[in-house]
Amino acid sequence: MIIIAGRPGHGKSTLALDIMRSCSIKHEMASIIFSLEMSKSEIVMRLLSAEARVKLADMRSGRLSDQDWTKIARRMAEISSAPLYIDDSPNLTMTEIRAKARRLKQKTDLRMVVVDYLQLMTSGKRVESRQAEVGEFSRSLKLLAKELDVPVIALSQLNRGPEQRVDKTPQLSDLRESGNLEQDCDLAILINRPDANDRDHPRAGGAYLHLAKNRHGQTRTCTVAATLHMSSFRDLAREY
């Protein structure tokens, strides 16, 4: 199980969709996202923005040039034919997610599951605490990953801890309503965009992806270009 965590607006969904694009569009392997935050149309728009390299704001407003339309048309068929599944059903429960993932695994060679995001889920049951409820979600996703033998990527919010420290680097302890996330996950990627709190930061336009936990290897930090206006993160070497 993989956790991608960050503060609101730092690019959790964008990073998850980057991984899905690589899996399903580039390598033609089946993946599914259970989205409790964005609608299917919003996700498709972001996929098109990233693949066609067209500004998301222009797509939303309809202010597109002929060149933009041409780039979008070229990518539309490729995205439509990719084995990338989107489920934006409202009020999804963990039981429904597990059942739908199992059915898709039977129909296709499902290779990845994404849940966006944990704090929006509810069990519909009376629970001891919200932390205990999120902990139950975490254990269920861990079991699902093992049962289906696929990576399960769960998105999670960080609390305000990084904003209140001199060192803004996020830590695993900043996972909001974390339950057992820190213990259950095999990998944890924490997103830090310095310019989110300081527009004049010398690394403005960049982001740090902190591999804060790696059960099977070393931890490290990668620096990438945060091209969120085109719904993606990019390799710095390709951007500059």
- 35: enclosing H helix or E strand: strand 30-35
Domain topology for 2-239: Rossmann fold (3.40.50)
Tell me what the mean pLDDT of segment 137-152 comes to: 93
**pLDDT higher than threshold 50 for residue 136:** yes
**Contact between 43 and 24 (Cβ < 8 Å):** no
The tokens of 31 are what? 């993946």
**Contact between 210 and 169 (Cβ < 8 Å):** yes
Total number of residues shown for the chain: 240
pLDDT bin (cut points 50, 70, 90) of residue 31 is very high
pLDDT of residue 198: 59
Reduced to 3 states (helix: H, G, I; strand: E, B; else coil), residue 218 is: coil
Tell me what the mean pLDDT of segment 161-169 comes to: 72
Can you give the residue ranges of every domain in the chain?
2-239
pLDDT of residue 124: 67
Between 134 and 52, the more confident residue is 52
pLDDT digits (tens, 9 = 90+) for 101-135: 999 999 999 999 999 988 888 776 776 777 778 88
pLDDT of residue 240: 40
Tell me what the mean pLDDT of segment 45-65 comes to: 93
